[in-house]
Amino acid sequence: MSETQGQAHDNPLLTAWQTPHQTPPFDAIRPEHFLPAFEQAFADHSAEIAAITHDPATPDFANTITALERSGTLLTRVSAVFYDLVSAHSNPAILEIDKEVSLRMARHWNPILMNGVLFGRIALLHENRATLGLTAEELRLLERTYIRFHRAGAGLSDEAKTRMAEINERLAHLGTSFSHHLLGDEQDWVLELSEADCAGLSDSFVAAAKAAAEERGMAGKTVVTLSRSFVEPFLKTSARRDLREKVYKAFIARGNNGNANDNKAIIGEMLALREESAKLLGFPTFAAYRLEDSMAKTPEAVRRLLERVWKPARARALADRDELQALIAEEGGNFALAPWDWRYYAEKLRQRKANFDDGAIKPYLALDHMIEAVFDCATRLFGITFTERKDIPVWHPDVRVWEVRDRSGAHKALFYGDYFARPSKRSGAWMTSLRDQQKLDGAIAPLVINVCNFAKGADGEPALLSPDDARTLFHEFGHGLHGMLSNVTYPSLSGTAVFTDFVELPSQLYEHWQEQPEVLQRFARHYRTGAPLPEELLQRFLAARKFNQGFATVEFVSSALLDLEFHTRPAAASRDVDAFEKAELARIGMPEEIALRHRPTQFGHIFSGDHYASGYYSYMWSEVMDADAFGAFEEAGNIFDPATARRLHDDIYSTGGSVDPEAAYVAFRGREPEPDALLRRRGLLEEPKAA
Ligand SMILES: [Zn+2]
C-alpha cells in the first residue's frame, strides 16, 4: 500500500467528523481518500444487506424495510461529498476517480436491487400491507420500496437480470463520459476580446469577462467562455454580429465537434440500451417505463401538455420574428434574422417597447442583496432565520455557509451557497445535499447546497445579477427549502425525493416572490448608492417580463419534445443523432431562427444520467402547478399570507416523498391545478383570435 493511499484511521471520510454540526472536513479530504472510502462503504453496505436477507425471523416492517433504511449510511455519506466535488469543484484526479466510481456504483447496486431473497421479503410485506397496522408514512415507504425494486428488475428471470446488470453498468459509464466530454469542450474554448470587440457589452459584463480570464491564468485579458451566464448576455448585447455568430456556433457545437469529446456515439448507444432495458421490464419504450412512475403516468399525457403549449408559443414566436426582421430592415440591415441575432434584436425591441433593458436593472440586483431577499421571503413565509457561519469547512474559498434556525431558535439546517462560475465547476445551477433530513434514530439536520454559475464582479466590485440570474437564485433556493424544511422519519422519503415532475414545484413556485414589487422595492437597491429601485424602472421591469416568452417557450418545449421522441421512437431511428434532430425539428415546425435550449450532444439533463431522461417536460408539468399555486397567495390578498404559507409548509415543503404528490397538491390548494394558469403567466393566452 502506498503512503498516499493511507490507513482507515487517517482517512477523514472514514472517521467521525469532529467539525461543527458534523460537516464534512473538506480541508482534510484529498482525492486519494475516495477509492478506499468507497471500498469500505460498499463492503459495509453489502454486509448490512446480507444481514437482512439472512435474518431467520419472519419478514416484518422493522427487520426488512426499516433495516433497509438504516443500511448504506457510509455509502450515502461518502457519495454526497464525492459528487459535490465532481460537479462543483473537480480536477483531473477527481474526474478519473469518477469514471471508476460510476462503474463500481452500478456493480454494487445491481445485485442489491435485483436480490431475489430481499425482493421476496419486500413483496410479501407489500402483499400484506393492509394488515400490518402501518402509519401513512410507513405505508408510503413500503410502496415506494416495492416499486423501486420491482422497477429495477428484481422480479426478472436470472438471465434477464444478468443482461440488465450489464446494461446498467454500461449506461453508468456512458453517462459519466457524456458529462466529462461536455465539461471538456466547455473548458477548451475561450474567445479573447480586444477593446473593439467589446462594442455593446456592459461594463459589468466586461468586468466579469476579465475575472474569467484571470481564473484561467490569463490575467489582464478579457474572455468570453461557453458558460451560459456568459453566452446569453453576450448574444443579447454584443453589437458585433460576427462575434455573436462565433460564440453562438461554439455554444451549440459543444459535444458535437468530431473530437475526443464528441457525444453522438454515446447518445446512440445509450438510447439503444435504455430501449432494451425497458423491453426487458415489459414496456414498449423507455418513455413508457420511465413515466409510469411519475405524475404524468404516460407519454401521451406529456405530449398533450407540451403540444397544448407549443402551438400558441410557436405562433407568438413567429409573430415576434417578423417584428425583429422589420427592426433589422429599419436599421438598414440587409440580412435575414439568424439564430445569433434573435436575442440581440429582441433586446433592442424590448428596450424600445418596454423602454427597459437588463443592464438598467443589474446595478440594483447585487448578489448579496438578492441573497438577503431570498432569505427574507423564507423568514416571512416559514419563520426560519439565517446567520452566516465562518467556521464550517468548505470545498472552495468562495463557498459561504449559513446556519438556519426555526421559529423557536432551534437549529434546523446548514445552507451552503457556492455562487460563482469557475473552470472546475460544471455549467448550470443546482441544489444538492451533503446530508438529508430524517428522524429514524433521532433528529438529523440537513446540509443543503446551492450551486450557481454567476459571473464574479471584478476589481473588488460586487457581483451583479441579471433578472434571469436572480430568478435562478430563487429557483435553487426553492429546492433548498424543500430539503431544509423536510420533516419526515425515513431517509429515502426526505426532501426532494419526489417524482421528477413534482420536484420543480417548490423551486419554480419560489421564483414568484422574486418578481413581486413588495420584495424588489425593499431589496433591489443600487449597489453603489444604496438607492431603492426607482418605481418607474420597477414598472418597466414588470411590464417587460412577458416579453419574448414565445422564444423562451419554444426553445424549452422543443427540447422537451425532442427528449420525448428520443425515448418513444425505436432507438434505431435515432442512430444518426444529427439527422434525427433535424427531422424532428422539421416535423414540429421549429422556427429556423431559434435553437433548442439543449441540443442533443449537450443535453446533460437526459444523457449525463437517466434522472431527467424522458423527464425534461417536468419543468413545465411543475409550472402548471406553480402558476396555479401562487394564485392561492394572490387570492388571499397577501403574498406572505400566514394561513396559506402554513398550508404550503405542511402540505408541500415539509412532506418530501411521504405523501402522494397529487394528494399533497390538492391538500394545499383544495382542488386540482388549473392548466391555463401557465399560459396566462407566460402571456400566451392573449393570442389574437383568428376571424
Ligand atoms: Zn430546478
Q: What is the pLDDT of residue 350?
A: 87
- Dist. CA 178 → ligand 1 center (Å): 21
Distance in Å, CA 686 to ligand 1 centroid = 28
Dist CA 87 CA 89 (whole Å): 6
Query: Taking residues 404-432, what's their average pLDDT?
Result: 95
Residue 1 has pLDDT above 50, yes or no: no
* Predicted local confidence at residue 8, as pLDDT: 63
Query: How many Å lie between the centroid of ligand 1 and the Cα of residue 605?
Result: 11
pLDDT tops 80 at residue 511: yes
Distance 143 CA to ligand 1 centre (A): 26
Place of cell 414588470: 542
In this prediction, residue 85 has a pLDDT band, given cuts at 50, 70 and 90, of very high
How much distance in Å is there from the Cα of 619 to the middle of ligand 1?
Answer: 7
Mean per-residue pLDDT, 41-45? 98
Question: What digits encode the pLDDT tens for the residues 128-176?
Answer: 999 999 999 999 999 999 999 999 999 999 999 999 999 999 999 999 9
> Which pTM value belongs to this model?
0.90
Q: pLDDT band at 188, cuts 50/70/90?
A: confident
C-alpha 615 to ligand 1 mean position (Å): 12
Find the 455 Cα to ligand 1 centroid distance in Å: 20
Per-residue model confidence as pLDDT tens digits over 44-75: 999 999 999 999 999 999 999 999 999 999 99
Give 600-647 pLDDT, tens digit per residue: 999 999 999 988 999 999 999 999 999 999 999 999 999 999 999 999
Question: What integer is the mean pLDDT of 638-663?
Answer: 97
Write down the pLDDT at residue 653: 98
- Nearest-angstrom CA–CA distance, 564 and 561: 5
Looking at residue 47, its pLDDT comes to 98
pLDDT score of 576 more than 50: yes
Provide the phi-psi class of 422: left if phi over 0, else alpha when psi is between -120 and 50, else beta: beta
Ligand 1 geometric centre to CA of 646 (Å): 23
Residue 429 in this model has a pLDDT that exceeds 90? yes
Question: Is residue 239 predicted with pLDDT exceeding 90?
Answer: yes
Cα end-to-end distance, the chain, whole Å: 81
The residue type at 64: T
Q: How far is the CA of 556 from the centre of ligand 1 (A)?
A: 14
Going from the Cα of 507 to the center of ligand 1, the distance in angstroms, rounded, reads: 6
Residues with a catalytic annotation lie at 476
Predicted pLDDT at 691:
34
Q: How far is ligand 1, taken at its centre, from the CA of residue 475, in Å?
A: 6
Q: How far apart are CA 468 and CA 126, in angstroms?
A: 46
Give the cell for residue 617. 417536460
Query: Average pLDDT in the 324-348 region?
Result: 96
How close is the Cα of 162 to the center of ligand 1, in Å?
35
Q: Per-residue pLDDT averaged across 384-401, rounded?
A: 98
240-266 per-position pLDDT tens digit: 999 999 999 999 999 999 999 999 999
Ligand 1 centroid to 243 CA: how many Å? 31
Provide the pLDDT for residue 7.
59
What per-residue confidence (pLDDT) applies to 687? Answer: 52
| Residue 452 pLDDT > 50 | yes
| pLDDT tens, position by position, 274-307 | 999 999 999 999 999 999 999 999 999 999 999 9
**Ligand 1 mean position to 263 CA, how many Å?**
24
The whole-number average pLDDT for the span 349-358 is: 82
pLDDT class for 182, splitting at 50, 70, 90? very high
What is the CA(559)–ligand 1 centre distance, in A? 16
Q: What is the mean pLDDT of residues 312-333?
A: 96
| DSSP annotation string for 347-401 | HHHHHHHT---HHHHGGG-BHHHHHHHHHHHHHHHH--EEEEESSS--SSTT-EE
The set of residues, in sequence order, having a beta carbon less than 8 Å from that of 566 and lying 6+ positions away, is: 267, 271, 574, 580, 600, 606, 614
Residue 688 pLDDT grade (very low, low, confident, very high; cuts 50, 70, 90): very low
CA 211 distance to own-chain centroid: 26
pLDDT above 90: residue 667: yes
Residue-averaged pLDDT of the chain? 94
* pLDDT band (50, 70, 90) for residue 390: very high
Q: Using CA atoms, how far apart are residues 254 and 243, in angstroms rounded to an integer?
A: 17
690 has a pLDDT exceeding 60: no
**Are the C-beta atoms of 556 and 620 separated by less than 8 Å?**
yes
CA-based torsion, 470, 476, 482, 483: positive or negative: negative
Residue-wise pLDDT tens digits, 205-234 = 898 899 889 989 999 999 999 988 899 999
pLDDT at site 685: 82
Between CA 210 and CA 218 the distance in angstroms is 9
- Ligand 1 centre and the CA of 617: distance in Å? 12
**Which pLDDT score, from 0 to 100, does residue 3 have?**
41
301 φ, ψ to 5°? -65, -40
Q: Classify residue 259 as exposed, middle or buried by CB count within 10 Å of its CB (0-12, 13-18, 19+).
A: exposed
Measure 572 CA to ligand 1 centroid, in angstroms: 32
Query: Ligand 1 mean position to 54 CA, how many Å?
Result: 41
> Which residues hold their Cβ within 5 A of ligand 1, which is an ion?
504, 507
Structure confidence at residue 360 (pLDDT) = 86
CA 505 to centroid of ligand 1, rounded, Å: 8
Q: Is it the case that residue 359 has pLDDT exceeding 90?
A: no
